[in-house]
Structure 1
Amino acid sequence: MASDESMHIVLVPFPAQGHFAAFLSLAGHLHRARPSAAITLVSTPGNVAALRASASRLAMASDESMHIVLSPFPAQGHFAAFLSLAGHLHRARPSADMTLVSTPGNVAALRASASASSLPFLRFHTLPFVPEEHGLPAGAESLDALPVRHFLALFHATESPSLRSAFDEFVLDTTDGALARAVVVVIADPFLAWTSGVARSRGARHAIFVSCGAFGSAVYHSLWNHLPHLHAPAGDAFLLPDHTEVTVHRSQLFTPLLVADGADPWSAFHRGQIAHACDTDALLINTTEEFEPTGLRMLRRTMGGTPVCPVGPLVRVPTQESAGRDRDGVVQWLDAREARSVLYISFGSQNSLLPEQMMELAAALELAGRPFVWAIRPPLGSDDDDNDGTSRADRWLPEGFEERVRGNDQGLLVWGWAPQLSILAHASTAAFLSHCGWNSVLESVTHGVPVIGWPLAGEQFFNAKMLDEEWGVCVEVARGNVDAVGSSVVDRARIVEAVEKVMGDSTEATEMRRRTKEVQDLVLRAQSVGGSSMEALEEFFTSMLRGISANNS
């Protein structure tokens, strides 16, 4: 009898801007759930008049007149995260225009990718870019196409006057070409935080999209801002400024950070982008309230009054991977294995190990005797010019290794690209030996696969720390791939021990699998109707449309 047709909802917000914004977001959410229920908001005369005026402006600046500009940093993991974000934003605001901007080679590759082909609504805009003008090899427009020695040059190229000018011209054209009532929202990578100044000057809203985790981002922010290892007492461990409840080890600092002194080019770049990020209107981050409560608390402390909106997990699905012989061959190999029996190994698209580390890892895999799929790349510092590196593998793998594991059907070496999502989603996959890049972390936990951590660079060390200390779903086996961090040598016996600790039949392994399933459930719930990440996304849209901070009261 009491159907939604006969429901009348009365909203009574406290008279403050942030409370009004939150109640208006709630009103929209309730209306979508019960479209025929009556909703009335009550307040004082002045507030009602102001709210009616803002509602009128909001009706003009609806999602139909919103144009979202996506500006990812040119690296495979960043592109993947932004494409996932594009799909998520489109599902929430299907009639909003959306354009991704990047350099010519990257736009061409993205248009041809399987992930982008599943996003027909997404437009692309090319920013002129000539790599040679920035000291980069010809055709090298993405971090994935560069050896480590050229990384800094690409970082500097992405904030060059020529790219800034081209981006400013595009945003100007977008704001001038849109209807006067339109809202233009620039969503940029943290490494491109300078875009906040362009957005401000052209009357557009601005947000930073952090494709990494909250804990790792907060730690990384503090490390670059303060360089605390320079002033810490002798020894490996020191407390983190701004977050003294966190202990950091020197072995968790990758080389550019470890050798930074504040006057070096890496410090200048990171500190510059951190300063620009403080001028943004909001921060979107690829995580959930339930998964990273500690990290989000730290990040909100870092960002002051800027709203921090966790909208994850944003992960691709196996159908977004390119079909073909390589993918089909891997899946067929997995089909022939027992359930939860296979170890998957990958260090991402930009990382690899030292030759001696690869030797030890290969030896450990044979000793462990468990089935494995290894997405393998030439080692760090290799002068191998082949795309797949197979011609010189005898220099950094035990003699006859590939032939033996293929012959006894123990292992599958996948040279170069591997269908990671299909592997992690497969019933035979039991564990993931990973560098703990954030995309890999989310893809692993959303598929219920525990992690054996071997972080190599950036915030990966702190991703592994969070997975281990907060959730108990990761066993860290080693750190780093260069001698500078003092941990480049890892013994094969230690690797075997970690593999058994995660994949074995012990009570500890069983408990880790149970916790991984628990994490999988809570992370996926955040994206369901009424979940925390969906609520955060609605708050973000409200703040962008109204020009106010929905999280601030």
Structure 2
Amino acid sequence: MGTLAPPAPDHLKKSAKVVVVMVPFPAQGHLNQLLHLSRLISAAGLPVHYLTTISHSRQAKLRVHGWDPLTVKNVHFHELFIPPFSSPPPNPNNNENFPTHLQPVFNASILLRQPISDILRTLSYQFKRVVIIHDSLMSYVVQDFSSLPNAESYSFHSVSACTLFFFMWERMGKPFGIDPESEFLKGLPSIDGCFSSEFIKFVNSQHEFTTLSAGKIYNTSHVIEKPFIEFLAREEIGKGKKQFALGPFNPIIVQTTKQQNCFSRHKSLIWLDKQGPNSVLYISFGTTTSFSHDQIKEIAKGLEKSEQKFIWVAREADRGDIFKTQEEDSVKMVFPEEFETRVLKAGNGMILRDWAPQLEILRHPATGGFLSHCGWNSCMESISMGVPIVAWPVHSDQPRNAFLVSKILEIGLVVRDWGKRKELVTWDMVKKSVKRLMASKEGDQIRRRAAELGDNLRQSVVAEGGTGKIQFESFFNHITRNNLN
């Protein structure tokens, strides 16, 4: 598999003087992004320590795709203990779309402060410089690094630069103007309904500690978000701190098992091999979304009526600890009568109820679109693979990620307006959205733009002089500065 990272300088090959510590937030989209970044940094020659709870460390390693973390010798996993906590199952009929059932997990994450502080102190004795890359939602947890003379931190933001910029710009009272006629403002969704009140309090509790960081890291690229990256770097918002757009974190050359026999290759990929180019819609709503039974039935009917081929990852939202799900408490998606039977018999689709190799599916030439919740992790994977998106945002950063994808980049379309988020999406709306992307001239044009953007993004991290390559080299040179011999 190819690597996006530059070769390590000679002095670091001989004796590593810098260590990088990853501190992810305990939610799948956050865990995955920093684990991918660990691969890039370790490939460049630096040891990386990945710090999270026992269950979330197992989850990150189990679900990562495109590479195998167990084969990377200089990524070290620390499985930290926190006292047991109660986390209810997801409620698909909850009035709030935000995954409030995970809030106990988020609250429990603050208990990692002491064990992480102990590890940082130990590493500070062993290395000349300790570089902490922490999720912005773990700013409270890593605060004790400031007492170490040879430690510095970088705050990682797991959302698009577009979403982050508008959040900060609005929060700071719009410290500079943007042309009201700009495409950046036309149709910009509000953040109403994006977060629960308890989660907002949690975010605010982290805010004062983000000022301790030496800079910010984004899983994005100038190729796709240059204006927003530049907005974030302005003095009014960036406050003079270093800014690094190091994306995409996910592999752009995906390890594939095509040469292996059919017993070791995922069944979805074997099925895709039999389909025509750009003929299959991949459907996944991430790990924090649970739809009502009525909504599931509408989606199923809309897919059937669209007469388009599809792979649907039909999973309920994660619990706080995915390894403690009790069978008697598990919730299974209920489809219309005989739906699965008809789909299988006709050969028009595949329904997956377990984890799917998303990167390999998106990279497959038969995949022509992605019906997605528009979590940023999924967006970046789809963009880097050149696959257009049918956006169905549900909460958090997703509405504004969908805005970026559909209105700014024009590589997707939105199923429904965010202002109508409480209304049931009917089967006819699903059908029309799917057919717009998969079976229309408009969809062909969107697909071409997505493929071109994906090519440009991949080139940016491998070609000499590419903006992504330059950004990574700049970051690497910065954290290994001052001739640490």
For this structure pair, what is the TM-score category when the shorter chain's length is used for normalisation?
Answer: 0.7 to 0.9
- Distance in 2, matches of 1:537 and 1:445, equals 19
User: Aligned letter for 1:459?
Assistant: D
Question: How big is each residue's C-alpha offset from its partner over 1:291-347, in whole Å with a ceiling of 9 and x where there is no partner?
Answer: 101221232232221111111111145438999859532112112222211111110
State which of 154, 157, 175 in structure 2 corresponds to 1:210.
157
Within-5 A mapping of 1:51-130: 64-92=16-44, 94=45, 96-110=46-60, 115-130=68-83
1:284 paired residue number: 217
Which residue of 2 is the match for residue 516 of structure 1? Answer: 450
Q: After the TM superposition, which residues 398-413 of structure 1 pair with which residues of structure 2 at under 5 Å, given as runs?
A: 398-413=336-351
Q: How much does 1:267 deviate?
A: 2.7
Deviations 1:472-524 (A, max 9, x none): 111000367xxx96433112222222222211242x22221221122112211
- Residue 436 (structure 2) aligns with: 501
Shift in Å, 1:249: 7.3
What SS does the corresponding residue of 2:224 show, helix, strand or coil? Answer: coil
Match of 1:533 in 2: 468
* Residue 268 (structure 2) pairs with residue 319 (structure 1): no
Matches of 1:378 and 1:346, distance apart in 2: 11
In the alignment, which residue of structure 1 is the partner of 2:126?
177
Match of 1:46 in 2: none
378 and 209 in structure 1: CA distance in 2 versus 1, 3 angstrom threshold: closer
1 CA distance for matches of 2:229 and 2:29? Answer: 22
Which structure 2 residue ranges, 5 or more long, are not aligned?
A: 1-5, 90-97, 320-324
Report if the CA contact (8 A) 1:251-1:485 is conserved: no
Q: 1: distance between equivalents of 2:409 and 2:123?
A: 44
- Residues 361 and 63 (structure 1), Cα distance of their counterparts in 2 relative to 1, 3 Å cut: farther
What amino acid is aligned across from residue 363 of structure 1 in structure 2? K
1:413-492 alignment, distance < 5 Å: 413-478=351-416, 486-492=421-427
Could you say which residue in structure 1 is the equivalent of 2:110?
159
Cα distance in 2 between the residues matched to 1:104 and 1:328: 27
Go from structure 1 to structure 2 and tell me whether the alpha carbon gap of 1:420 and 1:281 turns closer, same or farther (over 3 Å shift): same
Cα distance in 2 for residues equivalent to 1:242 and 1:74: 34
Deviation at 1:207, TM superposition (A): 0.8
Does structure 2 conserve the Cα–Cα contact (< 8 Å) formed by 1:451 and 1:473?
yes
Alignment CA distance shift 1:112-1:328 (3 Å): closer
Structure 1 range deviating more: 308-317 or 356-365? 308-317
Distance in 2 between residues matched to 1:404 and 1:102, nearest whole Å: 43
Contact 1:250–1:485, Cα closer than 8 Å, also in 2: no
Match in the other structure for 1:271: 204
Query: Out of 233, 238, 242, which is 1:303 matched to?
Result: 238
DSSP-derived class of the 1:430 partner? strand
Conserved 8 A contact 1:205-1:544: no
Please give the alpha-carbon distance, in whole angstroms, between the structure 2 residues aligned to 1:149 and 1:473. 31
Shift of 1:252: 4.8
Which deviations, in whole Å up to 9, do the C-alpha atoms of 1:250-274 show, x marking residues without a partner? 96536463x64xxxx3333212323
User: What is the TM-score of this pair, normalised by structure 1?
Assistant: 0.73
User: Aligned pair count?
Assistant: 451
- The unaligned stretches of length 5 or more in structure 1 are 1-28, 36-57, 139-146, 229-239, 548-553
Q: TM-score, normalised by structure 2?
A: 0.83
- SS where residue 208 of structure 1 aligns? strand
Between 1 and 2, higher relative CO (CA 8 Å, sep ≥ 6) is seen in: 2
Q: Is the 8 A contact 2:189 2:403 kept in 1?
A: no
Aligned position for 1:188:
134
Contact persistence 1:81–1:439 (CA under 8 A): yes
